[in-house]
Structure 1
Amino acid sequence: MKKVILAILFPFVVFGQCDESVSKAFQNQLDKEYADAKESPLKPEDLKIFHGLHFYEINKDFCVEAKLVKTPKAKPFAMKTSGNRTPLYVKYGELHFTLRGKECKLNVFRNIELSKQEKYKNHLFLPFTDLTSGVESYGGGRYIDLEATDKDTMILDFNQAYNPYCAYNEGYSCPIPPKENDLLVEVRAGVKKFHD
């Protein structure tokens, strides 16, 4: 049976500002978790030689303020995964922003089951692919964790983009970014692909 991966992994969700120290703390925490045999998605043979993930240099140009257009009364849908699992999500809204001079839009989602838990009730899931996918970054896309807000803007920090567990171990079942979340720009920020 394939292992299940939840989208929420890390406590470092940028909320309201772009802060290089927060992005660095995110990277350090990620490396710490992946080095821990109890938490790591790495295969035993990879864990033995693990010395840290490959990250792009932290770049404030990849931390942007996005206009949030909420989607009222969105209907739940089954998000495709790399396995047979089809978890239910609901579209929370659209994020409109400019990145590297290009107008971009990404849909952000809420996992219905996960949001029933008190500590994840405000958690939002942003899966995406970009022009680095399959080249410098994982071909199956990357994720960003966000928090629901009452504001009409949201800080989107691609320096905190991370790979799904499937990038390290095919035994996991991971959400596949919807086609509408494919960015036609190189997002050279966050985690790179695992094996070069």
Structure 2
Amino acid sequence: MVLCRGRAGPQTLLPLIRDIAQVAPFRFMTTRRGGRMAAAMTSAGACGWISDHRGYRYESTDPETGKPWPAMPDAFRALARDTAAEAGFPDFDPDTCLLNRYAPGAGMGLHRDGDERDFAAPIVSVSLGLPAVFLVGGLEKAERARPVPLQSGDVLVFGGPARLLFHGVRPVKPGADPVFGPFRYNLTFRRAR
């Protein structure tokens, strides 16, 4: 797991996030058990991550619009590839980006990203907007999680033995980011297919 502080330029990414949300708006997905997720989500790329009563999966079309997900912006892909290469994963080429928008009070419980077909590819996670505390656990959910404070522009790459670690986000504290206002955004780049 490699943390690259201040690697992403928030002001260059905001217009791209807005463009994606114009085509595939942020929405609150539901879990398999019918609960509402705390963060609003959307996707870009060849496929998007879906959660509903049927479970978690990737699909090539947005179920709300019936259209393909918006294309992944070149700047997104370049950021993910370059940062992954710096962290020791030179062949990473993401095919999807999951965008999460956290309002104050929203967090994410410990989980691991296990819906992708190939765990050899890392996950590149970009933090934007309000600060957050990322929690890094072990390979078992019961293992104690360590806090990692994240600021806007930080990029976390986890792959290899760290790829399947349980992780989460503590509830975001209220505030006002100069670029993203009252929200935290998280972009997670993955190789899903």
TM-score, length-normalised on structure 1? 0.31
More strand by share: 2
More helix by share: 1
